[in-house]
Amino acid sequence: MHSRRNFLGTAALAASALMLPLAGHAPAFAAAPRKRLLPLALNPGDTVGLVSPSAATDEPLDLQLAREAMEALGLKVKVAPHLAARRGHLAGTDAERAGDLNAMFADDEVKGIVCARGGSGAARLLPLLDYAAIRRHPKILLGYSDITALHNALLSQAGLVSFHGPIGIGSWNAFNADQFRRVFFEREQMEYRNSADKGDELVQRRNRTVTITGGKAQGELVGGNLSVLVALAGSPYLPDFRGKILFLEDVSEAPYRIDRMLSTLRLMGALDQVAGVIFGECTDCDPGNGYGSLTLPEIFDDYFKPLKVPVYRGAMIGHIRQQFIVPVGGRVEMDADAGTFRMLEPVFQR
């Protein structure tokens, strides 16, 4: 979960070089827009599937805690056959992990799917997923970080709205549990506003938002982990960026790498398409040794200010203890001056 370097490399950047449209045109190889498909709602007492589509988990207790957390939320749990499997750094072979995910979507007993963890490896599954079957059985998928690959594939290939938020083995603190209940059980049309707890500070320091370019914008959310998103360059699993609200986060990436990844998004035409940008947290994204570095604020200004669309940073999205649960593909309105965004429509089937 804490490293994305295997996803980039020279191959991904070389692939992105094939995608150089004229400014204002959709990126080459981006999937054709599909009719948006909402998942079925989730209720207390329903069964959720616990899957591991990315990295292996080396501590069995973590998987037990993930199951207990779902049960504490009032759900029944069905464990994927290869949840605890291992093949190198992966939670089983590609066929095993994709098979688990396809089976959970096809299983009528399972009403939602929770990813146990991220790490790396989810992108290997994208050609193996049965998108036609997923469209016939639309259901919630929850996870973040490496699960960004799945979110964007489900949206681009099936039109399915999924959810960027806590993983099974992560922290299910009071904030995250409250997000889960409000989004999934109460089906609240959420307003995402950072917590205003100052702690013992005279002024609030944690969870501050910073406006880069003010204003409001509406559109469907696309994005997720920046490194994983950029690694989809040149593939049909890249989302359509036209008129979308792009949300991003990352972890353990030096500023020069964030600069390179944003450069890739700009070169492939994606940044020119968006209606607004929400950058969450870039956790442990500190400069390394050497000749110095641009700062993240400087990098954000370089890439986002020329877009002349609303942009803010600091949303509670990313590799942090308290996380928003946000609908990938859901229609929202963002307010960059207030540092908030809100759902405009229901994100579940009625």
Q: Is 249 a catalytic residue?
A: yes
Task: Name, in order, each residue with C-beta under 8 angstroms of 44's C-beta and a sequence gap of 6 or more.
Answer: 73, 74, 75, 185
> Are 228 and 149 spatial neighbours (Cβ–Cβ below 8 Å)?
yes
Kindly name the residue from 52, 120, 145, 235 that is annotated as catalytic. Answer: 145
Distance of alpha carbon 177 from alpha carbon 186, whole angstroms: 12
Kindly name the residue from 82, 151, 164, 319 that is annotated as catalytic. Answer: 319
- Nearest-CA neighbor of 274 among 303, 299, 294, 316? 303
Q: How many Cβ atoms sit within 10 Å of the Cβ of residue 15? A: 18
Task: Name, in order, each residue with C-beta under 8 angstroms of 172's C-beta and a sequence gap of 6 or more.
Answer: 69, 72, 73, 166, 180
Distance of alpha carbon 334 from alpha carbon 312, whole angstroms: 9
Q: Is 252 a catalytic residue?
A: no
**Tokens 């370019």 belong to which residue?**
213
Q: Is 201 a catalytic residue?
A: no
HSE toward the beta carbon, residue 109, CA cutoff 13 A: 9
Kindly name the residue from 96, 249, 253, 281 that is annotated as catalytic. Answer: 249
Distance of alpha carbon 333 from alpha carbon 245, whole angstroms: 8
Distance of alpha carbon 238 from alpha carbon 19, whole angstroms: 12
Distance of alpha carbon 280 from alpha carbon 317, whole angstroms: 5
Tell me the H-state helices in the chain. Answer: 9-16, 60-72, 94-106, 131-136, 148-153, 174-180, 226-230, 255-267, 296-304
Residues marked as catalytic: 145, 249, 319
